[in-house]
A and B are shown apart, each in its own frame.
Chain A
Amino acid sequence: MQPATTQRKLIWWGINILVLLYAFVPVFWLLSLSLKDAATLNDGKYFPTSPTGDSYKAIFKNDDFVHSLINSIGICLISTLVAIVVGTMAAYAIARLQFPGKAAILAMALLVSMFPQIALVTPLFKIETAIHLFDTWPGLIIPYITFALPLAIYTLSAFFREIPWDLEKAAKMDGATPYQAFRQVITPLAMPGVFTTAILVFIACWNDFLFALSLTSTSRARTVPAAMSYFTGATTFEKPTGPIAAAAIVITIPIVLFVLVFQRRIVAGLTSGAVKG
């Protein structure tokens, strides 16, 4: 590699700025829409001329939105928790134990991850209506867990393969009980991988639209992405731009914070399943 001259650095800064523009222009456009007041909403300008928080006040007074936000947070947290517990058990077995049927389980996880979700919507709609799970939290949590499991199993087993498991044996030789060895040696090594996987699973659940749209009918279980598409304005055909933009920003903020704080881990998590192993 040639030494980094000032000129080369400047060129790279130029390229970096292009990447930043690519990533943030659509996001800031929504932010600016959410801050525009009624008078300047339709001026077609990228930046708001007289910013106001009215749209945010409006959506937090709207019961449907507040319910959907609670639904989103609750449903995604529970799905993530269950998927991580079940996924960790399976990934530990796949990474550490020898048993027949391992390849079949990995193949099944891969098949599920490639599965066209729409092919499940019709039968799940019928089944959930029959057993009264339609439009309930579990009605969404169950499919979310299912589609999160392949992601969790692949990512976690890639992380678990990297753990130096001999340390556990060494701790036991030094007089630690099996529980101590697990709790004080293995758990701290495994936590970063588990945590990263939890973020990826949460993002995947947070992003879902198809199930939220098809398997709910009221604000009992409808999540924010689905609720946003049902926001109505003065007439049925007019979409209330300001509130939609504000709701979009509200559900974007936690995700962007995750990304900013855990960038390195997310990158490691997204690439681990694909390359190592």
Chain B
Amino acid sequence: MTAMPTPAAAESADVRIEDEHIEIARKRFNEAKRAERNLGWMLVAPAVVIMLAVTAYPVLYAIWLSLNKADLRRPNDNHFIWFSNYITVLSSPIWWTAFGVTTLITVVSAALELALGMILAIIMHRTLVGRGLVRTSALVPYAIVTVVAAFSWRFAWTQDLGWLSHGDSAPLTQFWPSIGIIILAEVWKTVPFMALLLMAGLALVPEDLLKAASMDGATAWKRFWMVTVPLIKPAILVALLFRTLDAFRVFDNIFILTSGANHTSSVSMVTYSNLIRGLNLGIGSAMSVLIFITTGIIAFAFIKLFGAAAPGADAGGRR
């Protein structure tokens, strides 16, 4: 520029330069953002691919198999039969007995685990002495292999052999005692997990609030129901949801304790029997799909009815 620029021209030049700077900055920002996005996708890709390949594809395959006659003993007779497998399963008393047994075990053990887990959580949270000792030993049932614990209970109630069996009684050969022992084994194993989730909730209850309630004359019982429970409701719901879904898949304990004798099979047990003993993939897949749907309904009911944290809201711990 030769002449002195007019103020207006200088201003517009400044604005232009500023615009350019903003433009460059925006470009850099966008590039950084794109790089971050690409890095993010690259890092999660392996996990996503594995989870999709091992769950989504087999589920679709199971749905396809469930609509076919697929009996490994008659491999040449496979063909598309629409919903016949579902009709066979849903009109079978074996399926409905197993469904009833599974529901009973799920509801009773989830309820017991919540009550006992809460007690254990309070003990671990409040104990004045040996806190490390209590927390360590409470982890033992969680860490022990389910099959190992199941054998322990089975031997304990085996006639002559067991320390819990008396005289001629053989509880694992009768329906109701078997169900009771299965529930006991489930509850023994999972109370610690429940207690840990609840204890994490208890740690978030402000001590001052409890003290204030106590000064207002609330008894310990009242403080628990009026202060603690409402505050840890999210922790309770998450713990219950996970345990309900987990209990619905009950398999290991029943397999070892009764092998499904005397109508004690769960839905997982009958599906397994159809596959391994019956080699009937069509029927087995139909059962798999029905279990999958039931699990979905349970999760949906928890989220809708009780307002448990929705998936993706970072609420879930482990399975």
Mark A residues whose CB is within 8 Å of B. 4, 8-9, 12-13, 15-16, 19-20, 22-24, 26-27, 29-30, 33, 41-42, 44-46, 86-87, 89-90, 92-94, 97-127, 142-143, 145-147, 149-151, 153-155, 200, 203-204, 206-207, 209-210, 213-214, 224-225, 228-229, 241, 244-245, 248, 251-252, 255-256, 258-260, 263-264, 266-267, 270-275, 277
Size bracket of the B interface: 35 or more
Q: Is there contact, CB below 8 Å, between B132 and A271? A: no
Known contacts A12-B128, A94-B44, A209-B147; is-contact A19 B314 (Cβ 8 Å): no
Residues of A within 8 Å of B118, CB to CB, are: none
Interface residues in B116-168 (C-beta closer than 8 Å to A): 120, 123, 127-130, 132-149, 151-153, 155-156, 158, 160-163, 165
Residues of B within 8 Å of A15, CB to CB, are: 123, 127
Q: Is there contact, CB below 8 Å, between B160 and A42? A: yes
Q: Residue B50 at the A interface, CB < 8 A?
A: yes
Q: Is there contact, CB below 8 Å, between A155 and B145? A: no
Segment at the A interface, from B1-9, B105-113, B283-291: B283-291
Q: Is there contact, CB below 8 Å, between B145 and A255? A: yes
Residues of A within 8 Å of B319, CB to CB, are: 113-114, 147, 150-151, 204
Residues of B within 8 Å of A204, CB to CB, are: 318-319
Using CB atoms, name the residue of chain A closest to B317.
A274
Mark B residues whose CB is within 8 Å of A. 33, 36-37, 39-41, 43-44, 46-48, 50-52, 54-55, 58-59, 61-62, 65, 120, 123, 127-130, 132-149, 151-153, 155-156, 158, 160-163, 165, 188, 192-193, 196-197, 199-201, 204, 235, 238-239, 242, 245, 248-249, 251-252, 255-256, 267-268, 271-272, 275-276, 281, 284-285, 288-289, 291-292, 295, 299, 311-312, 314-319
Using CB atoms, name the residue of chain A closest to B127.
A12
Interface contacts beyond A125-B275, A271-B317: sample of 17 additional A-B pairs, CB < 8 Å, sorted by A: A15-B127, A23-B192, A26-B152, A42-B161, A97-B40, A99-B41, A108-B48, A110-B311, A112-B55, A115-B292, A120-B59, A122-B65, A154-B316, A210-B252, A213-B276, A251-B148, A273-B317
Partner of A252, one of B58, B129, B148, B285: B148
Q: Is there contact, CB below 8 Å, between B165 and A24? A: no
**Complex: how many Å from CA A53 to CA B285?**
46
Q: Is there contact, CB below 8 Å, between A118 and B251? A: yes
Partner of B288, one of A29, A105, A119, A143: A119
Q: Is there contact, CB below 8 Å, between B289 and A114? A: no
Using CB atoms, name the residue of chain B closest to A47.
B163
Q: Is there contact, CB below 8 Å, between A16 and B140? A: no
Partner of A255, one of B52, B144, B256, B281: B144
Known contacts A115-B295, A259-B143, A260-B136; is-contact A271 B314 (Cβ 8 Å): no
Q: Is there contact, CB below 8 Å, between B272 and A121? A: yes
Residues of B within 8 Å of A277, CB to CB, are: 314-315
| CB of A147 to closest CB in B, whole Å | 7
Residues of A within 8 Å of B58, CB to CB, are: 120, 123-124, 127
| CB of A94 to closest CB in B, whole Å | 7
